[in-house]
Amino acid sequence: MESHVKLPPAEVMLRAVEEKDESFEGVFFLGVKTTGIFCRPGCPARQPKPENISFFASASEALVAGFRPCKKCHPLHRLGTIPPDIENLMDEVLEDPSRKWRDYELQQRGLKPDRVRRWFQANHGMTFHAYCRAARVGAAMGRMRSGKSATSTAFESGFDSVSGFNEAFRLITGVSPRQSVSSVMVKIKRVTSPLGILLVGATDEAVVLLEFGDRRMLATQLKTLTKRFSCPVVPGSNSLIEQMEAELTAYFAGDLQTFETPVEFPGTDFQVETWNALRSIPYGETRSYQDIARQLGRENSVRAVANANGANRIAIVIPCHRVIGSDGSLTGYGGGLWRKQRLLELEGALVPEPDLFD
């Protein structure tokens, strides 16, 4: 069946299938010709041979083409990178971070501990139990900032001793509980979009990270973020993350052109100057790297502009996707050129072929 939605390049989708990359959740589905089953990109089943794969932009297209939904990854369930059983588990962790989860409790819920561990390792870069500890420490920071003592916070947060609390706190945050009262904390949440998973990170003051979940420089960006803010990065959400998520939904629906959520983007003087120049590019327009260098009064710094462009930590809002080659070509983009093209099509800077958001 011919899709009315333009899919990512075949090599990008094949790599996502090979790596079971759940950040492509909702971007495409794959049908396996030999079994007649269709799956999500991150399906845990054995990988089919490339020649036996058909790609679809939606579950309905796969159904119309005669494929049956997989019983392992449940592609007909509501879209989202998080499997429903794990999503419920995460909700419970964040609702009561002090609770200590044991493997037998996961088994009682019908969850295999190894599967849970692999999912959290792949999607959060840490095991489930490490995720729980990070959420527990994040909640503890909130308690201490509201005036609680370290001793009462330790036991209210589910730690068996003050020394154990201090050790876990310092390991995760890099500071002591006492020092944390005046320190910054970045909360990170994964949100879905028509172009795959986005990671949104924010302090209580501003959004400081907005990146595609499969970007290869993401680990470097997180390290830079931790260094720039001298703070821990913990799972969670806040009002600014929720505001950004709502604005992204409106943006991808074509109903929003200017983001209002506060953002903060520390960097070198030249980087910040470049990023501010990117923010001045109007919706629906593009500029070349040379244009940006000229705007900055640094005509011989095209390469430096390109490097600053690539170091941007707040995709879409700081629209590095609007910078193209002098010849009009779509040059490098950390999220992948196919995403750059879709964003420019959405904004009207390129003619869709056809519209991704029909």
Q: pLDDT value at position 296?
A: 93
Q: pLDDT value at position 134?
A: 76
Contacts of 109-116 spanning 24+ positions with Cβ under 8 A: 109/85, 110/85, 111/85, 111/86, 115/44, 116/86, 116/89
Assess whether 39 carries a catalytic annotation.
yes
Please report, to the nearest 10 degrees, the dihedral formed by the alpha carbons of residues 296, 261, 317, 286 taken in order.
-70
Find the DSSP H helices in 125-268: 128-145, 150-156, 162-173, 177-180, 218-229, 239-252
Rounded Cα distance between 292 and 296, Å, is: 6
Assess whether 73 carries a catalytic annotation.
no
Rounded Cα distance between 104 and 97, Å, is: 18
Residue of 43, 70, 132, 320 with catalytic role: 320
pLDDT in tens, the chain (358 residues): 334 456 788 888 998 898 887 768 778 899 999 998 999 888 888 889 999 999 988 777 888 788 888 888 878 765 445 677 887 888 888 778 778 888 999 999 888 898 888 878 766 667 888 888 777 776 776 666 666 666 666 666 666 666 766 676 666 555 556 555 545 678 888 888 888 888 899 998 999 999 987 776 677 777 777 777 766 777 778 899 999 999 999 999 999 999 999 999 988 999 999 999 999 999 999 999 999 999 999 888 899 999 999 889 999 999 999 999 888 888 878 788 888 988 999 999 887 654 333 3
Rounded Cα distance between 37 and 341, Å, is: 30
Widest CA span in the chain: 64
Residue of 39, 43, 73, 132 with catalytic role: 39
Q: pLDDT value at position 4?
A: 41
Rounded Cα distance between 281 and 283, Å, is: 7
DSSP 322: G
